[in-house]
């Protein structure tokens, strides 16, 4: 699950149309007082210093709401279990029918391994640095999969209470995670073999990101998180597809195939999540449209919005700007995804809503043209972009 949306960043960064990253409150590491207070009694100065070094810049945080879904709504998901078995689990593939990363990589057990690696590196040599920034960011986001499984498993009414529960919701979460796990594995190995990136600094970014987590503001509610995942999976399919088309344009058909096969998985996962929400719009139209309006007011944030590489506190914004400039995922795509989902769930045609539901419906339907106008204005205000170093590619300069 990974999508990129670049704010219209130029020499004077502009406000994003599609996501909001909590602003940096303090770019320095936390004070030794605040760090040491959380350590056990008797911690040495060296241990305190290690905690300080492992920290990331502190950020202002909004008030985090948890478990906001009324208890009676949990019964809706219990009543949907038989439906989920027949309509959600069908979007999973048996392991024996799934592709594996090794299908697209040089075979280390073969006599031709070294030659295969040389060919991969020759193809990669023709690809520009800005493309690798985009590909690395996508891979890092995919590698933060433990966080995403945690988010799904914290949903009220859907938790895998034992770790091997046989409820359809628990089966979906584990199997979805297993399918998604191949994406990061494949991209990680490709990038390692390409020789074009600084793997240690990438690995640090992954560790920072998993340690920091994510905050989609879903409040442990399946309503809110399934809005989020419906949006994310479609956006991810678009971004991987565009990444593949760019790889093909640069002459690397194997990399294009890699991106394409990942995009295909994301499309299949999108079908499952949008189908769940479609059912919720049928069973509980008021609850579903209120959830949609709530998430759109908060704005859908990229799973890796808390990304940090150990040196650039704004690396997420910088990476997003590159992705937007390359056309991999843009503000227009964000609006397109919202428009598709509103149409898929027939939001405009809903009737019988409460007064609050009608207000939510009106907000969502009016939001799309508003976003379109903002896109146009941002394009008109575009200025010459900055050029900055990226740690992921050994500090080589890339235009934002």
Kindly state the tokens that stand for 250: 């640069």
Of 156, 160, 180, 312, the catalytic one is 180
For residues 318 and 383, the answer to whether their CB atoms sit within 8 Å is: no
Rg (the chain; Cα; Å) = 22
Q: Is 183 designated active site?
A: yes
- Classify residue 320 by burial, with Cβ atoms within 10 Å: 0-12, 13-18, 19+: buried
**294: which residues sit within 8 A by CB, 6+ positions away?**
224, 360
What ranges in the chain are assigned the alpha helix state H?
32-37, 45-54, 71-79, 81-87, 113-125, 129-143, 145-153, 168-194, 199-212, 222-249, 253-283, 285-298, 315-326, 331-344, 355-380
Of 147, 236, 243, 301, the catalytic one is 236
Kindly state the tokens that stand for 322: 């590159």
180 annotated binding-site participant = yes
269 annotated binding-site participant = yes
Could you give the 3-state DSSP secondary structure of residue 265? Answer: helix
Of 160, 173, 183, 309, the catalytic one is 183
Of 179, 266, 294, 309, the catalytic one is 266
Q: How far apart are CA 169 and CA 78, in angstroms?
A: 10
For residues 127 and 252, the answer to whether their CB atoms sit within 8 Å is: yes
Q: Is 91 designated active site?
A: no
183 annotated binding-site participant = yes
Classify the C-alpha dihedral 356-358-363-367 as positive or negative: positive
For residues 64 and 35, the answer to whether their CB atoms sit within 8 Å is: no
What b/e sequence results for 164-184 when a residue is b if at least 16 CB atoms lie within 10 Å of its CB, and e otherwise?
Answer: ebebbbbbbbbbbbebbbbbb
- Classify residue 101 by burial, with Cβ atoms within 10 Å: 0-12, 13-18, 19+: middle
Q: Is 122 designated active site?
A: no
Of 269, 270, 309, 333, the catalytic one is 269
Of 129, 130, 141, 142, the catalytic one is 142
Q: Is 269 designated active site?
A: yes
Phi, psi (5° rounding) for residue 25?
Answer: -85, -35
Which residues have a catalytic role annotated?
99, 142, 180, 183, 233, 236, 265-266, 269
Binding-site residues for Fe cation, please? 142, 180, 183, 233, 266, 269
Binding-site entries: 142, 180, 183, 233, 266, 269
């Amino acid at each position: 699950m990974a999508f990129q949306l670049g704010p219209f960043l130029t020499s004077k960064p502009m406000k994003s149309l599609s996501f909001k990253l909590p602003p940096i409150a303090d770019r320095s590491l936390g004070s030794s007082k605040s760090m040491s207070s959380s350590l056990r009694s008797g911690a040495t100065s060296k241990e305190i210093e290690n905690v300080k070094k492992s920290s990331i810049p502190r950020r202002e945080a909004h008030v985090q709401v948890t478990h906001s879904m009324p208890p009676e709504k949990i019964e809706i998901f219990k009543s949907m279990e038989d439906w989920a078995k027949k309509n959600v689990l069908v979007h999973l593939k048996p392991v024996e029918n799934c592709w594996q990363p090794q299908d697209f990589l040089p075979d280390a057990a073969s006599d031709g391994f070294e030659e295969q690696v040389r060919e991969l590196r020759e193809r990669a040599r023709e690809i520009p640095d800005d493309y690798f920034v985009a590909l690395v960011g996508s891979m890092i986001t995919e590698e933060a999969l433990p966080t995403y499984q945690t988010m799904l498993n914290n949903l009220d009414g859907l938790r895998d209470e034992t770790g091997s529960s046989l409820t359809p919701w628990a089966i979906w979460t584990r199997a979805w995670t297993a399918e998604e796990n191949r994406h990061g594995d494949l991209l990680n190995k490709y990038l390692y073999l390409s020789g074009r990136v600084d793997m240690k600094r990438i690995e640090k970014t992954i560790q920072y990101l998993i340690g920091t987590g994510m905050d989609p503001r879903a409040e442990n509610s399946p309503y809110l998180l399934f809005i989020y995942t419906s949006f994310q999976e479609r956006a991810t399919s678009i971004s991987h597809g565009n990444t593949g088309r760019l790889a093909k344009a640069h002459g690397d058909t194997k990399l294009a195939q890699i991106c394409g096969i990942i995009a295909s998985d994301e499309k299949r996962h999108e079908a499952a999540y949008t189908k769940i929400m479609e059912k919720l719009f049928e069973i509980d139209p008021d609850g579903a449209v209120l959830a949609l309006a709530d998430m759109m007011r908060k704005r859908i944030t990229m799973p890796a919005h808390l990304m940090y590489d150990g040196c650039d506190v704004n690396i997420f914004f910088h990476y997003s700007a590159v992705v937007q400039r390359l056309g991999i995922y843009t503000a227009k795509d964000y609006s397109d995804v919202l428009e598709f989902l509103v149409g898929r769930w027939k939001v405009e045609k809903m009737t019988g809503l409460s007064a609050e539901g009608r207000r939510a419906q009106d907000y969502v339907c009016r939001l799309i043209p508003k976003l379109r106008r903002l896109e146009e204005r941002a394009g008109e205000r575009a200025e010459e972009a900055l050029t900055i170093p990226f740690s992921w590619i050994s500090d080589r300069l890339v235009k934002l």
